Amino acid sequence: MKISFKTYLNDRLKQVDFHGQLTYPLYVQVTYERKTIFFKSYYFELFSKPKYAMQLPDGSIKGPDLEQIIEKENEVIRFVMDKLKDGFSLETFKKLYAHFSTDLCDATEFDFITYLYLFFDDKELPHMAELIKWGILHIDTYNLVIEFKKILKRSLYTELIEQAYKKAPPYLQLYNFMMYTKKRPLLCFTAMEWDNIETIRSFKDYAKLHYSNLNSTKLVGQVNNWPKYRRKAL
């Protein structure tokens, strides 16, 4: 098979702001049997979100390194190519790329946010619900929940977490596992990584240790269900 690919900064487009740095958008090009497709890098879009920026002591903003993003792109592209092997086609490649590159925390976040909104609205705290709706445009949902633990009554916070297990995606458990296994600033946990029995076992062991009151097998099933959760660009 004659397959080639490259990741590149698309200088045919306008430059965009990447956490205070002007840069051309990162694109992917894949060629197979003289046919070529071009598409925007998933990871460039993902790590362009404000929540991935870190404010330094001098007030400046630092985002993820573009070289690291390119490395992640190359990794998932090679992974998908290896999956397809002799059954390669550009159409199938694009579908599997979209699937396996997906950050599972990002994929489960929107429905988890919706759960938070409805939880506080049901508790007749509509302003808190609106704060969540607009706040998560700029801050990480996980960090917001961590601070809820400090300011909410213990009974209310406990109810929020317990109900989340029943009504929301396993966003918190995935995020905690990611924090346990990864380092900033490239905090993501992809479907490519989940497509590994050892990773699943590791997640299950982590859940048994840190969420002993939850059914770890059910948690794995909830993670497997990630393609059915709604997603929205935040």
Query: Of all residues in the chain, what percent carry a pLDDT higher than 90?
Result: 68
Lowest pLDDT segment from 107-116, 139-148, 159-168: 139-148
Query: Of all residues in the chain, what percent carry a pLDDT higher than 70?
Result: 97
The CA–CA distances, whole Å, from 150 to 132, 135, 153, 156, 158 equal: 16, 17, 8, 11, 12
Q: CA quadruple 210, 110, 107, 136: dihedral positive or negative? A: negative
At 177-216, the pLDDT tens digits run: 999 988 776 889 999 999 999 999 999 999 999 998 889 9
**Region 35-40 average pLDDT:** 96
Tell me the β-bridge partners of 3.
32
Q: In what helix (H) or strand (E) does residue 5 lie, and over which residues does it extend?
A: strand 3-9
Question: What is the CA angle 68-74-78, rounded to 5?
Answer: 150
233 pLDDT band (50/70/90 cuts)? Answer: very low
Q: Does 42 score more than 80 pLDDT? A: yes
Cβ pair 90, 37 in contact under 8 A: yes
- Which of 215, 194, 5, 40 minimizes the C-alpha distance to 107? 194
Q: Rounded to an integer, what distance in angstroms lies between the CA atom of residue 219 and that of residue 177?
A: 12
**Region 35-53 average pLDDT:** 92
Query: Tokens in use for 169?
Result: 């995606």
**Region 41-57 average pLDDT:** 85
- Average of per-residue pLDDT values in the chain: 90
- What is the pTM for the complete model shown? 0.89
Backbone angles phi, psi at 211, to 5 degrees: -130, 55
Q: Rounded to an integer, what distance in angstroms lies between the CA atom of residue 153 and that of residue 207?
A: 25
